[in-house]
Structure 1
Amino acid sequence: MKYGSIKNYINGKLKEAHSERTLKITSPLDGTLLAEIPCSTAADLDEAVEAARTAFPAWSKTPVKERVQVFFRYKYLLEQHLQELAALVSEENGKTMGEAVAEVEKCIELTEFATSLPQLITGEVLEVSKGVECRTSHAPLGVVASIVPFNFPAMVPNWTIPNAIALGNCMIMKPSEKVPLSLTLIAKWLKEAGLPDGVFNIVNGDSEIVNAICDHPGIEAVSFVGSTKVAKIVYRRATQNLKRCLALGGAKNHLLVLPDAKPDMTAQNIAASMSGCAGQRCMAASAMVGVGSVDHIIDKICEEARKIVPGENLGAVINRESKERIERYITEAEQQGARILVDGRGATVNGKENGTYVGPTVIDHVTPDMAVAREEIFGPVISILRTDTLDQALDIENASPYGNAASVFTQNGGMARYVMEKASAGMIGVNVGVPVPREPFSFGGWNESKFGVGDITGKSSIEFWTKLKKSTTKWNPEEGVNWMS
């Protein structure tokens, strides 16, 4: 094994888990055995929570302007070690080096936002009556937990680490059992940046630890990112235990393409959206709805898709099970009458025959009842449905149980505005294939793409990671009294 046995990170130190049960970690790029991780137990979680609870009083009392100094230094370390972290992300996740670099750059942007929190949580103050003053302040919750997925080993953890911790909380993080390596580096740099021991902890494992986090009485809030199926389970279990929970699920993002769309720009955006990170992102283009005569644009999309080559500008999917599942979706659609315009099944890369690659795939004449039109595939696959009118296209989009993102490609401002108003999704794009908001705007979908209140990043995250304290003071009883005082 290249990296040996991965340990938990508790109270500033790497620590063996109590369990002897382990899981193997292999690289999707070539099948290399990278490491093994422990399947931690509730006893391991207890130790992490105790470390966090011990650290919380001092950390929460540290002024926010001092807390964010840690993240100024952490941001510098991310910049200094960008290539090192990106290489590890690529190795354990399978994405291309360019995609991994972009992921780390997003980590830097997320951290930069956290350094601005002192200016965003100043609270409000008002003299509400003669001699009577009301003010608000944001108080941290205590010990919080974050459960993160495999598709962004560095970025999704940084959706929560900088904001939650800078706001005064102490954190337990459970990485995906498929990609635990990047977080160990992140923990190292957080400590180097001056984060006190116990403020950030990592507990590795599988569903046993997820359940333990949801049940633990010492954890006040839980964030989760993953599939909708598991998001529902986590949300129900955490809230049943009277915790705050924000659980982000899957997606089936629709790109509505009108005949007047710019062919080259549209094709480039759609091909990049459906294949970026091998389609393993909740903002990937998964279904295109062509309105009217769009064959000329579909031809261009196929041209762009054929330029995407596994092992060159297309990474691997996470494991063999994912590869087989994605290819089953394609085969089933073909058997149901859809037409495969670009076929990515059976992809291999010379010298990396044990890698798990799926080539870019474009499927035309898909009908709304097909699985490829309804379900999240999480691979480099775009399903094309056809309608006569924009309202019919919106009906398809609105019928999806998900609601992460939707985009429209057109040069007609009125049509674009109509889609922005009517689409049932939390993030909307116009001529944008991946409409992810940039900081300080927050990330979060609607419907079955998100369970809970608020968003996980940006200004909206402040309300999730803190509780509002309201104070009323009166110092001069000699002042006249009215009904408010």
Structure 2
Amino acid sequence: MKYGAVKNYINGRFLDAQTSNYLYVVSPVDGSLLSQVPLSAAADLDLAVQSAKAAFKSWSNTPIKERVQVFFRYKYLLHQHLDELSKLIVEENGKTYTEAVAEIEKAIELTEFACSLPQLIAGELLEVSKGIECRTEYVPLGVVASIVPFNFPSMVPNWTIPNAIALGNCMIMKPSEKVPLSVGRIAELLKEAGLPDGVFNVVHGDSQIVEAICDHPGIEAVSFVGSTKVAKIVYRRATYNYKRCLALGGAKNHLLVLPDAIPAMTAANITASMSGCGGQRCMAASAMVAVGDVNHIVDKIVEEAKKVVPGDNLGAVISKQSKENIERYIASAERQGAKILVDGRNITVTGKEGGFYVGPTVIDYVTPDMDVAREEIFGPVISIMRANTLDEALAIENANPYGNAAAVFTQNGGAARHVINNASAGMIGVNVGVPVPREPFSFGGWNESKFGVGDITGKSSIEFWTKLKKTTTKWNPEAGVNWMS
């Protein structure tokens, strides 16, 4: 075991969980044993909530201009430790080093945005009548929780940490039990940056701790990122207990390709979108709709996909079970009559025979009723469907229950605007395969890709992590009496 057993982080210290139940943490890169993660008990969560509650009074009363100084220092530390943090992501998640570096760079951008919050949450003040003023101000909620997935061990935690904490909340984070190591280093860097003890806490575990978070009366709000199935459960349970909840689920992102699309650019974008991070991201290209005769572009995609090499510029998938599931989807498409143009099954990487690898896979002549067309595969697989018109393609896109992202590849501005106006997705790309907005624009999908109001990052996150206080004041008795007083 390369690292010691993972511990919870409570009140500024790493503590053993009150449990004897542990899971092994295995590297997807080569199957080596990295660590063990505890399946914490409800008592561990109670301790973390008590710690956060105790820290909240002082932290929430600290002016935001002072709170964000922690994140200026934290941003510097992310830069300073970029190589170390990236290598840790590679070990526990399996993505390539280049992809891991990009993940930390995005975490830095998210932190930069949090540093700008003092300029964004200034309240309003207006003299509404002679001698009477109304004022609004954003105030923190209290203790909040963030439940994060395996696919981005550092970036997704940083979707919530900087904004929620800079806005004055104290946080409990529950990392994925598959990738628990990166969040431990984040905790250490936050402390080094000057974050007071108790403001950020980490409790490890499985679904039992997720349920305990949803039920705990001391937690005011819950954010979740994961599968749609679990997002629905978390949203129902948290809101049943009168908490705010923003739960992000899965996706089935459709890329619409028109005959006038630039072949080389389109093929490179689609291939990168479907295979980047092993296809294990909710913004990955999963379904392509070929509108009319685009065989020349399909041929180019096949050519590009063959340049993507597992163990070189394509990382591992998270587990043996994930590899098996992805390969079952490919086999299912083949049985149902689709044509496998590039087959990523049965891959072994020399020197990493214990790792979990699936090669890039391109499947053509998929029909909308096939499993690969309807379900989230979460692997480096693209399913190509055929449509005669743009409206037919949009009908295919809009029929899928998800709504994270959609993209169109064309040089026709009118066609692009038609897709922007009519695709049922929260994030749209025009000649962009992964249309993730940059800060300060927020991340968030529609339909069964998101449950709750608002988005998890950017300006839209401010309303989720705060509540609005309205104050009316009158000091001068000479102003007389009117309907307001």
Tell me the TM-score normalised to structure 2 length. 1.00
**Offset from partner CA, 1:209-256 (integer Å, 9 cap, x none):** 000000000000000000000000000000000000000000000000
**Offset from partner CA, 1:249-270 (integer Å, 9 cap, x none):** 0000000000000000000000
Show the counterpart of 1:207. 207
AA aligned to 1:368 is P
Show the counterpart of 1:260. 260
1:479 to partner: Cα distance = 1.5
CA distance in 2, matches of 1:461, 1:299: 42
Show the counterpart of 2:67. 67
Show the counterpart of 1:106. 106
Show the counterpart of 1:9. 9
AA aligned to 2:148 is V
AA aligned to 1:373 is A
**Offset from partner CA, 1:164-201 (integer Å, 9 cap, x none):** 00000000000000000001100000000000000000
Show the counterpart of 2:298. 298
Q: Is the aligned partner of 1:84 residue 2:84?
A: yes
1:475 to partner: Cα distance = 0.9
CA distance in 2, matches of 1:482, 1:205: 59
1:477 to partner: Cα distance = 1.8
**Offset from partner CA, 1:46-94 (integer Å, 9 cap, x none):** 0000000000000000000000000000000000000000000011000
Matches within 5 A, 1:448-459: 448-459=448-459
**Offset from partner CA, 1:414-434 (integer Å, 9 cap, x none):** 000000000000000000000
CA distance in 2, matches of 1:480, 1:397: 62
AA aligned to 1:453 is V
Q: Is the aligned partner of 1:275 residue 2:275?
A: yes
Give the 3-state SS of the residue equivalent to 1:34 in structure 2. strand
Matches within 5 A, 1:34-433: 34-433=34-433
CA distance in 2, matches of 1:428, 1:115: 27
AA aligned to 2:455 is D
CA distance in 2, matches of 1:396, 1:387: 9
CA distance in 2, matches of 1:274, 1:466: 36
Moved over 2 A (4+): 480-485
Give the 3-state SS of the residue equivalent to 1:126 in structure 2. strand
Give the 3-state SS of the residue equivalent to 2:479 in structure 1. coil
CA distance in 2, matches of 1:246, 1:347: 38
CA distance in 2, matches of 1:412, 1:2: 54
Show the counterpart of 1:473. 473
1:300 to partner: Cα distance = 0.4
CA distance in 2, matches of 1:449, 1:464: 17
Tell me the TM-score normalised to structure 1 length. 1.00
AA aligned to 1:401 is P
Give the 3-state SS of the residue equivalent to 1:190 in structure 2. helix
Give the 3-state SS of the residue equivalent to 1:453 in structure 2. coil
1:285 to partner: Cα distance = 0.1
AA aligned to 2:183 is L
1:4 to partner: Cα distance = 1.6
**Offset from partner CA, 1:396-446 (integer Å, 9 cap, x none):** 110110000000000000000000000000000000000000000000000
Give the 3-state SS of the residue equivalent to 2:384 in structure 1. strand
- Structure 1 gaps of 5+ residues are none
1:483 to partner: Cα distance = 2.9
- Structure 2 gaps of 5+ residues are none
AA aligned to 1:104 is I
1:480 to partner: Cα distance = 4.1
1:482 to partner: Cα distance = 3.4
Q: Give the count of matched residue pairs.
A: 485
Give the 3-state SS of the residue equivalent to 1:353 in structure 2. coil
Asked if 2 retains the 8 angstrom alpha-carbon contact of 1:177 and 1:206, the reply is yes
CA distance in 2, matches of 1:175, 1:335: 37
AA aligned to 1:268 is A
1:35 to partner: Cα distance = 0.1
Asked if 2 retains the 8 angstrom alpha-carbon contact of 1:130 and 1:481, the reply is no
AA aligned to 2:53 is R
CA distance in 2, matches of 1:172, 1:240: 20
1:304 to partner: Cα distance = 0.4
Give the 3-state SS of the residue equivalent to 2:477 in structure 1. coil
Give the 3-state SS of the residue equivalent to 1:4 in structure 2. coil
Give the 3-state SS of the residue equivalent to 2:91 in structure 1. helix
AA aligned to 2:315 is G
CA distance in 1, matches of 2:290, 2:475: 67
Give the 3-state SS of the residue equivalent to 2:144 in structure 1. strand
